[in-house]
Amino acid sequence: MKKPVTFEDSVERSTIKLIHSVMAYSITEDDAPVYENQNLRHMYYSLLRHKDERDTWYWPESAYWITYDNSIPLLLLPYLDARWEDMNTMQEVGVYNHTVFTSGWEWGYWLIDWSIARWGWQFTWNGEERSTSPTQFFYDLFEDKKLHNLFREAMHLQTDDLKKKNLLRFMCPSNPTDEFPAPYNKQFQPRTEWRMKWLQKEATIAQMDTIVNNGIADLRTYADSMEALVHDLNERLGTLQANDRLPHERLLTLGNELIRALKVTVQRARHKAATLHYMIAERKYKLTDEQ
């Protein structure tokens, strides 16, 4: 006997399925340490399961909201790579409904919102479909390969260091829940496995040495590398301005805005490294003094 359709079944099939991923992570990548998940693939599998049964939309973020990228303004270029990769994934699996959650945080993030909007269109040139890339619209603005290559290198540096090495666990400001006792200390964004209070009062010499070698050193390496790119970006933009090669006079302002935003990530990495270095030095001094 055929199972009767219940009210719940009819409501389920008539409602829209919104698959909402978060932050600068794609829906298919291996590591996305947010909301106590290893990654966001469970959302991808849910999308695949429902897309042929009901109206299914993909709803990623082009910026976060609270402390991940705007309490301390961090321009995270991996948003470009993740959103571009996701749009290609949705195209492959046949999910064409796409909306974006954005925080309205515009300092540099206008480039991400604008890129997502333009990727939604299929481009042809002389009858041939034009390929896309995460940083293509930066090039379309400035029309300079050297400047574009430097900007793309900055995106790859952030992807490797901030995402893959998870330096975001140091760079992001703390959430209020990070200091709550269990079971309320839920993880919403990348964070360290330890609290500052533990580092100040309980960490051993060996544990602090691990933080120095695997945290502070990586933060300083990122800061040095990004600072070099910021220097080269400034020099190239200045050369274009001096030779009257910027397509529009306002591009100098936009270029300086993006470069300055990357410089802020340098200062944030150095500040966090210095803070950790001070706390570790103070803790080691107390341990040595006690001995």
Across the range 196-202, mean pLDDT stands at 92
* CB neighbour list of residue 82: distance below 8 Å, 6 or more residues apart: 24, 25, 26, 29, 60
Cα 219 to Cα 39: distance, rounded to the nearest angstrom: 23
Burial of 23 (0-12, 13-18, 19+ CB in 10 A): buried
pLDDT for 67 equals 72
pTM of the model: 0.90
Rounded to the nearest integer, the mean pLDDT of the chain is 90
Any idea which of 65-69, 187-191, 287-291 has the lowest mean pLDDT? 65-69
Annotated domain spans of the chain: 8-290
pLDDT for 122 equals 76
